[in-house]
């Protein structure tokens, strides 16, 4: 064997080893994958347990709490879906969530527009008010809100009485997301529209709103899901037939404390609408957030 050939054979294993190493760890280290799997298991584990628990009987759960359904039972889900209370709770949650979303998106884009496109004194200070608002959840002002809604505005036990404060606390994140998104739109569009005789209000309605659709969808989905999952504020403001689905889960759990399988079924069905809605709009949410970051 000649010297050059021997040299090539000696170098071949080293190159192959580097290739295998790059293929093995190019997508991330095993530690990252391991931590990710643990997080996913801790997150989805209780959800899957509740979903499968709805397909079991109370006897099966008592005999083997961690087992799989055997046989599979549909009576729990059928019983919840055929009951009038579930649909009443779902209707209330839908109306409150839609009202909250509409108010949040409309007033959010109206507030973000001047903060993004106009130059005026105190603009950054006003924007910082919305940024600071991210630090305060609705729970810190729950008592004043209760007094304001029930006594001053006389909106206790009404859908709009819940939607208004929920939209108010959703406005900070809405403005923070929409402002850079609106600021990233080229100023040449506005100048060209003004040359064509379009006013600033006309530019806002005819050009800016259609172009800002991804950002509006993003904040709308966040507001809808947040309102759907809200618990404390509806608990204080709503009663009897006006109560929302999270409150319905608590009521059903209290009334049917011994029916563990039925509680699992009711809870699973209560979380499905928001989950499906969020997954369906996932790509639009990512697109809206990407546009906001680029702006």
Q: What confidence score (pLDDT) does residue 9 get? A: 41
Condensed to tens digits (0 to 9), the pLDDT of residues 121-154 reads 888 898 998 989 888 888 888 888 889 998 888 8
Instruction: Tell me whether residue 117 is in a domain.
Output: yes
Q: Where are the alpha helices (DSSP H) in the chain?
A: 3-25, 30-53, 58-63, 75-81, 84-117, 123-133, 142-147, 159-183, 187-195, 200-203, 209-211, 213-229, 232-237, 245-255, 260-280, 282-294
Q: Which of 126-135, 204-213, 261-270 shows the lowest mean pLDDT across its residues?
A: 204-213
Please state whether 195 falls in left (phi above 0), alpha (psi between -120 and 50) or beta: alpha
Place 87 in a pLDDT band, splitting at 50, 70 and 90.
Answer: very high
C-alpha–C-alpha distance, residues 283 and 285, integer Å: 5
Instruction: Tell me whether residue 42 is in a domain.
Output: no
- Geometric angle at alpha carbon 257, from 254 and 259, rounded to 5°: 135
182-207 average pLDDT score:
81
Q: What confidence score (pLDDT) does residue 170 get? A: 92
Q: What confidence score (pLDDT) does residue 164 get? A: 93
Q: What is the CATH number of the domain that holds 178?
A: 1.10.3720.10
Instruction: Tell me whether residue 20 is in a domain.
Output: no
Instruction: Tell me whether residue 31 is in a domain.
Output: no
Instruction: Tell me whether residue 72 is in a domain.
Output: no
Residue ranges making up the domain that contains 159: 83-294
Q: What confidence score (pLDDT) does residue 3 get? A: 47
Tokens describing residue 161: 């009485």
The pLDDT of residue 277 is above 60: yes
Total domains in the chain come to 1
Side-chain half-sphere exposure of 221, counting CA atoms within 13 A: 23
196-210 average pLDDT score:
82
The pLDDT of residue 247 is above 50: yes
Instruction: Tell me whether residue 53 is in a domain.
Output: no
The pLDDT of residue 5 is above 80: no
C-alpha–C-alpha distance, residues 92 and 90, integer Å: 5
Q: What are phi and psi of 27, to 5 degrees?
A: -95, 5
Place 289 in a pLDDT band, splitting at 50, 70 and 90.
Answer: low
The pLDDT of residue 250 is above 60: yes
The pLDDT of residue 208 is above 50: yes
227-251 average pLDDT score:
89
Q: What confidence score (pLDDT) does residue 291 get? A: 53
Instruction: Tell me whether residue 45 is in a domain.
Output: no
Q: Which of 70-79, 111-120, 277-286 shows the lowest mean pLDDT across its residues?
A: 277-286
Tell me which DSSP letter residue 154 carries.
-
Q: What confidence score (pLDDT) does residue 16 get? A: 46
Query: What mean pLDDT value characterizes the chain?
Result: 82
C-alpha–C-alpha distance, residues 54 and 103, integer Å: 36
Instruction: Tell me whether residue 240 is in a domain.
Output: yes
């Amino acid at each position: 064997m000649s010297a050059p050939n021997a040299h090539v054979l000696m170098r071949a294993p080293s190159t192959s080893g580097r290739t295998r190493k790059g293929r093995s760890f190019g997508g991330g280290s095993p530690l990252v994958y391991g931590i990710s799997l643990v997080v996913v298991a801790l997150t989805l584990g209780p959800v899957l347990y509740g979903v499968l628990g709805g397909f079991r009987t109370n006897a099966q759960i008592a005999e083997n709490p961690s087992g799989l359904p055997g046989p599979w039972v549909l009576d729990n889900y059928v019983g919840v879906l055929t009951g009038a209370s579930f649909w009443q709770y779902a209707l209330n949650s839908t109306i409150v969530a839609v009202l909250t979303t509409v108010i949040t998106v409309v007033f959010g884009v109206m507030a973000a527009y001047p903060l993004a496109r106009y130059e005026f004194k105190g603009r950054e200070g006003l924007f910082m008010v919305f940024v600071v608002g991210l630090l305060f959840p609705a729970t810190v002002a729950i008592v004043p809100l209760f007094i304001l809604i029930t006594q001053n505005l006389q909106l206790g036990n009404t859908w709009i009485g819940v939607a208004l404060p929920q939209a108010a606390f959703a406005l900070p994140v809405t403005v923070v997301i929409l402002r850079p998104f609106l600021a990233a739109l080229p100023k040449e569009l506005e100048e060209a529209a003004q040359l064509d005789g379009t006013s600033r209000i006309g530019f806002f309605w005819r050009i800016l709103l259609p172009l800002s659709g991804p950002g509006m969808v993003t904040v709308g989905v966040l507001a809808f899901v947040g309102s759907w999952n809200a618990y404390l504020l509806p608990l204080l403001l709503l009663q009897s037939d006006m109560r929302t689905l999270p409150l319905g889960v608590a009521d059903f759990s209290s009334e049917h404390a011994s029916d563990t399988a039925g509680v699992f079924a009711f809870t699973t069905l209560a979380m499905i609408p928001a989950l499906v809605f969020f997954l369906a709009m996932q790509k639009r949410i990512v697109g809206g957030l990407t546009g906001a970051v680029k702006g």
